[in-house]
């Protein structure tokens, strides 16, 4: 994993209190993030520094997975009338893992 449970708790205020449960979500998120990276990106021999955006993506994906367990059948979380839709991997996480390359405009 790129992120430890303690690192995740520092950035995720409502993270599960049980470190084993949190580690499970982080591991699942890690696996999904690695699968989404462009082919040949990870693992790379000799890499010692993980990009911060990958770490953030792992935490955001773990949070999305955790919330999806709370969302129920409607894929929404929250009280009636104030619900938020939860997606397995939203565009923000995808952009952290595969940033769009924007060409220079003259």
Instruction: Give the mean pLDDT of 27-32.
Output: 94
Whether residue 100 has a cis bond before it, omega within 30° of 0: no
Q: What value does the mean pLDDT of the chain take? A: 81
Q: Please report the pLDDT score of residue 87 as a whole number.
A: 53
pLDDT digits (tens, 9 = 90+) for 13-26: 999 999 999 999 99
Q: Is the pTM of this model over 0.85?
A: no
Burial class (CB in 10 A: 0-12, 13-18, 19+), 68: middle
Cβ atoms of residues 39 and 32 within 8 Å: no
Helix (H, G, I), strand (E, B) or coil at 33: helix
Q: Please report the pLDDT score of residue 45 as a whole number.
A: 76
Q: In this model, does residue 78 exceed pLDDT 70?
A: no
Helices marked H in 1-106: 5-11, 19-36, 52-71, 91-97
pLDDT digits (tens, 9 = 90+) for 47-71: 778 999 999 999 999 999 898 766 5
CA distance 67 to 59: 12
């Amino acid at each position: 994993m790129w992120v430890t449970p303690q690192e995740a708790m520092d950035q995720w205020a409502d993270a599960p209190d049980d470190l084993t449960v949190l580690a499970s979500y982080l591991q699942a998120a890690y696996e999904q993030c690695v699968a989404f990276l462009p082919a040949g990106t990870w693992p790379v021999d000799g890499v010692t520094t993980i990009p911060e955006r990958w770490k953030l993506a792992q935490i955001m994906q773990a949070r999305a997975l955790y919330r999806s367990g709370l969302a129920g059948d409607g894929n929404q979380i929250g009280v009636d009338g104030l619900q938020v839709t939860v997606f397995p991997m939203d565009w923000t996480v995808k952009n952290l893992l595969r940033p769009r390359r924007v060409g220079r405009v003259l």
